[in-house]
Structure 1
Amino acid sequence: MSIQYGRVVSLILLERFGPVVEKVGTYLFQYGTVPLLYIKKHTDLPISKVKEALCILIKYRLVTFTPNRNENVANYTLQHERVLLMLRYAKYINLIKKKFGTECELIMEELLQRSYWTASELILKVIERLKKDHNKNVTILALREKIFSLLAAQYLIRLPYSMEDKPVPSLVIKETEQFSPPTIDFKQIALVQSNKAPVDSLPDQGVYWTVNFDRFHQDMRDKLIVNAFIKKFDENAGEFVRLLLQQMYIRTQPWAEVSNPVPIVEIRDLVRKQATHQHLLAFFDQYVNVLEQDSSKLIRQSGEAGGGSFQIFLKETFTQFAWETVEQIVLEKFDTKAARIFRLVKSKQYIEPDQIQQLAMIPAKEAKRLSYQLLEENFLQVQDLKKSTSNGPNKSFTLFYTNLDQIVRMTLELCYKTLFNIMTRKNHERLVHKRIIDKKQRVDTIIMGMRAQGAADEQLSDIEEMITPPEREILQKIDVIMKKLNTVELEVDETIFLLQMYLIYQ
């Protein structure tokens, strides 16, 4: 955990929950696992405010608690990685919308907003929203099937619960219960919907469901790999890799470094059944050979029986992706010559300064300058070795080398710093133009209300003219700036995700 990371976490908490929760969260980030009274003492907040902040953080699974030595007292720990995930909520919702449709999108949106629901309450809420926002009627049965499909795909997971009556309970859940469909009573939901029965009468009360972020990250990881191969080769290569990853899940744990062997015949049969990639089917063996020889080392042959089996090497793949990302950063931050030096040092593992000048074919003075610039920015490391036991000036020599782990962590720090700057800039833009933005929101609200009442177009245009042309121009500029900042934020998050994947597999 670093200062830059902490600043991002604090800013996210401040934006979403306010200053009190941010203060408590920042303290927990800095000091780790602490009891309630320590938080009160060091934050100078009233005990009621601290409790309220902790309740909010626990509700959103951003804080966990464990019993202290004295089992009547709880220790609280901030789950800082989950705080960072809040920036990806839009991605999660978009992914679900593409795969399952609008109803599942609303289900996921409600879960992310409230953190957890019972299935029956979730159905009631989504029915209400579909009717209000989309003017669409949907049956309880249809929504139940949507929830069950999300459970089957493991995008939802049951929350742990307490099985003991203790002051500080331990929350547990059996593995078989995590994705087991709940009991949903259509008649009872209908009675609650028509206000003829209380919500407490629903049969699945106390069985709460939340979002399984791990499942989303599997999809994001797979998409990252597939897109990399599409960019490097073509759509057919990407489809081959997608099917290979799909078959991997059948026989291997999702986060395994190396998969169990996948028969290539299965992939060929799937391509034939789909009948959407005829080019891949026609040149199937050639694609297999090309991907096997690729520098990313994603697949390797593990057997020749039945046409051959291949294993997926995810660790090597993300190591290669990390190298390529770092090389691109060096290229953009410095220049092509610096990137050439970096690649040379990487390929040689250990290299003397004089060799860099010769092999990189760069003038000695410039090569030395760039090498030490890379060293200063921590893209290169240096090691001094003695030639003998004597201490003369020429009895030692210097070697340059690269340490990918260190570079990745340093790059992550740069990403967190960039992320903080982007978020700060967005807040600044909102603050500077707060008056105009608020005015625009008020006008939009009035127009929506009048449109719902069936107002004439002339009346609506009169309301729209409340925003003057100069103000409209400013709003357009703000919109352009915010879109750019949002795009950059998404791209930085993609880089963070890739680098985190590399660290996960180490």
Structure 2
Amino acid sequence: MSDQYGKIISLILQERFGDVVESVANYLFRYGPSTLFHLKKFTEIPVSKIKDSLAVLLKYNLVSTKSKHNTIMYTLLSNKVLLMLRYPKYVKTLKKKFGVEAGMVMEEILQKGYVKHTDLIDAVLLRLSTIGNGIHKNVLEEKIKSLEIANYLINYKIGEDIKVDDKKLTTKVYTVNFDRFHQDMRDELIVQAFENKFDSNAGELIRLFIQQMYVRTEPWAETSNPVPTLEVKDIVKKMNSFPLLLASFDHYITVLDQDTSKFMQKVGEASGGSYQLCMKGIFTVFAWEICEQIVLEKFDSKAARIFRLVKNKSYIEPEQIQKLAMIPAKEAKRLSYQLVEENFFQIQELKKVASASNTGPNKSFVLFHIQFNCLVRTIIEMCYKTLFNVMTRRTHFKFLNKRIIDKKQRIDTILLSMKAQGAAEEQLQDIEEMLTPPEREVLAKIEISLKKLNALEIEIDETLFYLELYLHYQ
């Protein structure tokens, strides 16, 4: 793992758990699986605090354990740490699909690592009561059951021993199935891509094919088993909410079949035929598009033209680049070698074979080419660096405005408490007036700045998700 990746992991853990937990985790990141003895010896942290830190990391499933020669080895699960940036997205997904109650269920579990069934019910009911939502306990039970059935929650059944702060629990507890959320995120990216390229009907058709894929194929298969076209058409008829899609069904099938991404690949001709969905292929296309867009933004349109040319030719000589890209020789050479310096291109040097008539020294020539897996990892490193800069800037911005942000949070807490107690409107207004008009203006500017930084973080994470999916399918 790279140093840049380690910096992000450290920053996430420091923000959420403090310096001591971050120090313990940072040692595990740098030196790999370690014992309590090594952590004590090399971190110079009191053993009691190391144990507390490990308990926290274990509770949130950020560390795994393995017994070796009667000694426990602790290993940091750094990929799980990075997922903490996606927690708001997970909550938003469930609120959209199952309602606000489901979102609160997810928030409780994410905040605590895992939660006993009874504690989860009590905590969510209490939160709902503070916002005036008098949902019945049985209704909440059904919500949780729906999340289990949909596989968003993993259920540790009675009898399984779950270690929490050196105690044993033999009760039903819940934790999060992140993999299920990532399936949703993957599918949504594909649907959005076809909606943007064609229209909402094409996006819906792709959604239905993916939905039927799950009936007969493992969720993370590179290529699905064939999905019958007539089966999908029958679903469109029953839905009765996409009349244009139904009326032009065959046309949409033809358009998607001929799409350059080759996401849908036809197999067989009988009864309208069937289609396989090529997950590996579509995310290869997405990864190339991302790399090309980054070249365009980092350099210019001429560099992007050269990048596309090398991609299409696989191997190409410098002279051919200058000729085919229709860019002046000097500029083409400068851009090409700039792309080499930034690891977008690789150079392969070949020697010309000497002929009988040529007794002079062997000459060599170079070919530009792209090692795509290496390039994707280079882009991922760039994303890590940008993400770290965004997170650091946001932390510093909050530090500079800590006083007024803390004051706003205190006032919001008081208001929420007083509303729950049924305070009069005049009392609430008096509390709100504790913030002066100039302070409200400052807070508005702070909110705008933080929203921009958060939006940028989400955009970077989405790019990372695309590229991680590409590598997953290789």
The interval holding the TM-score normalised by the smaller chain is over 0.9
* CA displacement at 1:145 relative to structure 2: 1.5
* CA displacement at 1:393 relative to structure 2: 7.0
Structure 1: segments with no counterpart, 5+ residues: 170-199
Counterpart position of 2:96: 98
Change in CA separation of 1:205 and 1:126 when aligned onto 2, cut-off 3 Å = farther
Secondary structure in 2 matching 1:34: coil
* CA displacement at 1:451 relative to structure 2: 4.7
Residues 118, 205 of structure 1: 8 Å contact kept: no
Q: Which deviates more from structure 2 when the two are superposed, residues 457-466 or residues 359-368?
A: 457-466
Structure 1 counterpart of 2:366, which letter? T
Counterpart position of 1:32: 32
Secondary structure in 1 matching 2:316: coil
Counterpart position of 1:125: 123
Counterpart position of 2:283: 318
* CA displacement at 1:293 relative to structure 2: 1.4
Counterpart position of 2:221: 256
* CA displacement at 1:102 relative to structure 2: 1.6
Q: 1:161, 1:355 → 2: CA distance?
A: 68
Change in CA separation of 1:294 and 1:448 when aligned onto 2, cut-off 3 Å = same
Counterpart position of 1:353: 318
* CA displacement at 1:475 relative to structure 2: 1.6
Counterpart position of 1:493: 461
Secondary structure in 1 matching 2:45: coil
Q: Which deviates more from structure 2 when the two are superposed, residues 252-261 or residues 34-43?
A: 34-43
Q: What's the CA shift string for 1:102-143, capped at 9, x where partnerless?
A: 221111111111111232332222222211x22222223222
Q: 1:216, 1:385 → 2: CA distance?
A: 48
Q: 1:26, 1:160 → 2: CA distance?
A: 33
1:473 maps to 2:441: yes
Change in CA separation of 1:448 and 1:122 when aligned onto 2, cut-off 3 Å = closer
1:154 maps to 2:151: yes
Q: Which deviates more from structure 2 when the two are superposed, residues 390-399 or residues 12-21?
A: 390-399
Q: 1:248, 1:391 → 2: CA distance?
A: 64
1:144 maps to 2:112: no
1:366 maps to 2:331: yes
Counterpart position of 1:411: 379
Q: 1:163, 1:208 → 2: CA distance?
A: 10
Counterpart position of 1:134: 131
Q: 2:253, 2:418 → 1: CA distance?
A: 61
Structure 1 counterpart of 2:90, which letter? Y
Q: 1:165, 1:157 → 2: CA distance?
A: 13
Residues 12, 83 of structure 1: 8 Å contact kept: yes
Change in CA separation of 1:392 and 1:153 when aligned onto 2, cut-off 3 Å = farther
Counterparts of residues 267-416 of structure 1 (less than 5 Å): 267-388=232-353, 395-416=363-384
Q: Please, what TM-score do these two structures have when normalized by structure 2?
A: 0.94
Residues 91, 103 of structure 2: 8 Å contact kept: yes
Q: 1:391, 1:316 → 2: CA distance?
A: 49
Secondary structure in 1 matching 2:218: coil
Q: 2:331, 2:179 → 1: CA distance?
A: 47
Counterpart position of 2:66: 66
Counterpart position of 1:244: 209
Q: How many residues align?
A: 468
Please tell me the root mean square deviation across aligned C-alpha atoms, in Å. 2.3
Q: 1:164, 1:431 → 2: CA distance?
A: 42
Structure 1 counterpart of 2:233, which letter? R
Structure 1 counterpart of 2:180, which letter? R
Residues 125, 135 of structure 2: 8 Å contact kept: yes
Residues 309, 321 of structure 2: 8 Å contact kept: yes
* CA displacement at 1:388 relative to structure 2: 2.3
Q: Identity of paired residues, percent?
A: 58
1:503 maps to 2:471: yes
Residues 119, 147 of structure 1: 8 Å contact kept: no
* CA displacement at 1:450 relative to structure 2: 4.7
Q: Please, what TM-score do these two structures have when normalized by structure 1?
A: 0.88
Structure 2 counterpart of 1:40, which letter? K
* CA displacement at 1:305 relative to structure 2: 2.0
Residues 314, 370 of structure 2: 8 Å contact kept: yes
Q: 2:410, 2:58 → 1: CA distance?
A: 34
Change in CA separation of 1:391 and 1:301 when aligned onto 2, cut-off 3 Å = farther
Q: 2:305, 2:361 → 1: CA distance?
A: 30
Q: Which deviates more from structure 2 when the two are superposed, residues 443-452 or residues 75-84?
A: 443-452
